[in-house]
Amino acid sequence: MTDRLTVVTGAASGIGRSIAAHLLDEGSRVVGLDIRPLPPFDTDRWTGLICDVSDEQAWAGAMSQIVSDLAVPDALVNVAGISARSQQEPASATAWMEILRINLLSCWLGMRAVVPHMTARRSGKIVNIGALAAHQPFAVPDLAGYSASKAGVEAITRATALEVAAAGIAVNCVAPGPIDTPMAADVTDAARAQLLAPVPMQRIGKPEEVAELVGFLASERSGFLTGQVILIDGGLSVGVHYRVRFTD
């Protein structure tokens, strides 16, 4: 059992929900933030708050409530995000501003909200969720905005890690490849097969596998680790040999 308190954004579904469940299973207290209603967990260590994490004032209100009612968070996990496939016109300037606001700005606002509290206590863990797409953009029209937003998440992870390291705060990023989440549920069977073809492990990852890694990074077990981007992608990022075959 642990008395650690972790804030998880995007906790209503998908990877965020799996991370919240994993942390609860480990004995942590968890506050889930999402713009959508958050289904309850069967434990008094769970608190769900409706919050637009891309809004500065919403973050201020949420942090005030969390610190007042519970405690200063020991860890923050920034998961909230959208895919360009959910946008009407992903190549439009409006869509770009939306995806940068939800995927990137929300991450920065979350860190800015917790860092003063963690600095005062001289300890804290922050984990941001990036994506393999920041390294290997999709060969699909109109998805550049998503890749750009996740590349930005990696950049602010590294920059913030340097800024807060002396205060005892570690900041890392987990960059998943293809993961079986609601965000990926609208992919056709043909597209799924095409997605799997270059993955050396020949399967799509599970949200629970991402949650295990995040749980480690959000805990004291991760110790001296900071400023890193860790890819969890079944070997896809290093699998050039798998896609390019040489013959005699």
Residue-level pLDDT at 1: 45
Residue-level pLDDT at 143: 83
Q: Which domain CATH number covers 127? A: 3.40.50.720
Contact of 141 with 90, CB cutoff 8 Å: no
Residue that the structure tokens 């206590």 belong to: 121
Q: Which residues of the chain have pLDDT under 70?
A: 1, 84-85, 87, 138-141, 183-187, 240-248
| Domain region containing 69 | 5-243
Q: How many domains does the chain have?
A: 1
Residue-level pLDDT at 184: 64
- Say if 34 falls within a structural domain: yes
Residue-level pLDDT at 188: 73
Residue-level pLDDT at 4: 97
- Say if 185 falls within a structural domain: yes
- Say if 231 falls within a structural domain: yes
Closest C-alpha to 228, from 176, 166, 171, 177: 171
Active site residues: 146
- Type of residue at 148: A
- Say if 248 falls within a structural domain: no
- Say if 86 falls within a structural domain: yes
Element (DSSP H or E) covering residue 44: none
Residue-level pLDDT at 24: 98
Residue-level pLDDT at 155: 98
pLDDT in tens, 111-152: 999 999 999 999 999 999 999 999 987 666 678 899 999 999
- Say if 224 falls within a structural domain: yes
Residue-level pLDDT at 3: 86
Element (DSSP H or E) covering residue 73: none
Closest C-alpha to 156, from 120, 216, 115, 95: 115
How many Cα atoms occupy the beta-carbon half-sphere of 229 within 13 Å?
23
